[in-house]
Amino acid sequence: MSPFGGWGMLTAFLVLLCCRGSGVKAFQGPEHLMVGSGEFQLINCTASCTDPKKLVLETHLNKTLLESQAQWKLFKVANISKDEKLLCSFTCGGRQETKVFNITVFYPPKQVLLTLWPTSVAAGTLFTIECRVPAVAPLEGLTVTLLRGTEILYNHTFVGTAPSPQDAMVSHNTTAHREDGHHNFSCEAQMDLRSHGGGVVHRVSDPQRLEVKEPEPNTQMVIIIAVLIVLLLVFVTFVFLCFVFSQKWHRGRTENSMDRGAWRAAVHGGCKESDMTEHRHSESEGPPAGQERLLEQTWKETPTKFAEKAGPCLLPGPWSR
């Protein structure tokens, strides 16, 4: 039955009260009616005179005469699926008159579907509350409210009209709190048609419960810290290896210098004074490079062979290193 079928019944009751045995003009009811799709509406045809002729309701829809008096007739019009115009005609004093009833078909909210996504979240993270009201019209005057318990989280009132029924969708993002797991979430749809001569249709979704978990560690931060630790270890290892190789290089160079010093000492220690005087003029020239390399190699092999190959005294000079 239409949510506004009560208005038709009230009209019929008022007609019965006002018109029985009276010559006063009867109450005719509103000229604009709102009817749910596929439902019926009571239509009261009332004439403007006390003795009308040919009082009829003109419509192609299925109609049933419920009750009649000399001045009025009450009809039930069924299966109204689209906007219609009904004509109530009668003749008073030889003049034909008509009254038009404009019927607007609306599609009330029959279902309200609530979805929580995801249904299980960690405290402090975002989740989405989505409410869908399928196949409603007109959208004008439809208000969708999202609730947590009795607390209003979000509401939205639609504006404009739609020629055909369509889904009304409302979505809201919010942060999960620990106490949210102790409350039911619901969605309420309310269609207010009072401005069109109708009433208020109200529907509520089934309650949904959100599972709230303890917050998980930030995996992104953990990855960043791990990368920084690896980079730090690589840097420390690099510095350590550089230190080790520098110490080894410095020690090798020191040992090489000591070998050269011992070689020169051995050469100079085995020289006679006469040899030193004889070869002093060679200080500025030094021994040939080939000879020096040969002497160095011989010294490294055995000092005895070096003494044999060195011959006369080698004096230090500018060529010494």
In the chain the domains, ranked by start, together with CATH numbers, are 5-106 (2.60.40.10), 113-213 (2.60.40.10), 219-310 (no CATH)
Name beta bridge partners: 191. Answer: 142, 201
Give the mean pLDDT of 185-210: 92
Give the mean pLDDT of 138-167: 90
Looking at residue 294, what is its pLDDT? 59
Does the pLDDT value for residue 272 go beyond 60? no
Distances (CA, A) of 256 to 65, 71, 172, 250, 307: 128, 136, 80, 10, 20
Map residue 83 onto helix, strand or coil: coil
Quick one: DSSP state of residue 71? Answer: S
pLDDT digits (tens, 9 = 90+) for 246-260: 888 878 777 666 656
pLDDT digits (tens, 9 = 90+) for 67-92: 999 999 999 999 999 999 999 999 99
Angle between helices 219-269 and 303-310 (to 10 degrees): 50
Which residue bears the tokens 């000492």? Answer: 265
Task: Annotate 186-209 with DSSP letters as a single string.
Answer: EEEEEEE-GGGT--EEEEEPPPEE
Q: Which distant-in-sequence residues (6+ apart) come within 8 Å of 129 by Cβ? A: 114, 115, 116, 146, 153, 154, 171, 172, 173, 174, 185, 187
Which residue bears the tokens 């034909």? Answer: 96
Confidence of residue 104 (pLDDT cuts 50, 70, 90): confident
Tokens of 105: 């078909």
Looking at residue 7, what is its pLDDT? 41
Confidence of residue 262 (pLDDT cuts 50, 70, 90): low
Looking at residue 297, what is its pLDDT? 62
Does the pLDDT value for residue 216 go beyond 80? no
Identify whether the C-beta of residue 105 lies closer than 8 Å to the C-beta of residue 2: no
Looking at residue 198, what is its pLDDT? 79
